């Protein structure tokens, strides 16, 4: 039990301690179940994205010359040449 839970439990009336524990247990169980589903769905979406990216057509960028084509200035001489 964390310090926050202990402080909250101490502030409750004496008869609500068991109810508080049951509510915390239900919240933790729901969170654990939901997180596993979220990770499952996220992994399925990532897998679908990877598969779809394999079928994408490669499109060249606009306005850019390909490497080795076009007019280029000669490279500057290296130190000592």
Q: Write down the pLDDT at residue 34.
A: 94
* Six-digit token string for 16: 């609500």
Q: What is the pLDDT along the chain (81 residues), one digit of tens a residue?
A: 678 888 887 888 888 888 888 998 999 999 998 998 999 999 999 999 999 999 999 888 887 566 655 566 767 777 766
CA torsion, ordered 19, 22, 26, 27, to nearest 10 deg: 60
Buried residues in 16-49 as b, exposed as e (16+ CB within 10 A): eeeeeeeeeeeeeeeeeeeeeeeeeeeeeeeeee
pLDDT of residue 25: 92
- pLDDT confidence of residue 4: 83
């Amino acid at each position: 039990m964390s310090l926050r839970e202990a402080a909250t439990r101490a502030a409750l009336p004496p008869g609500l301690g068991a109810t508080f524990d049951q509510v915390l247990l239900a919240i933790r169980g729901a969170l654990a179940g939901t997180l596993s589903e979220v990770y499952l769905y996220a992994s399925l979406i990532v897998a679908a994205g990877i598969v779809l990216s394999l079928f994408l057509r490669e499109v060249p960028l606009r306005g850019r010359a390909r490497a080795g084509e076009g007019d280029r200035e000669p490279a500057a001489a290296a130190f000592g040449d």
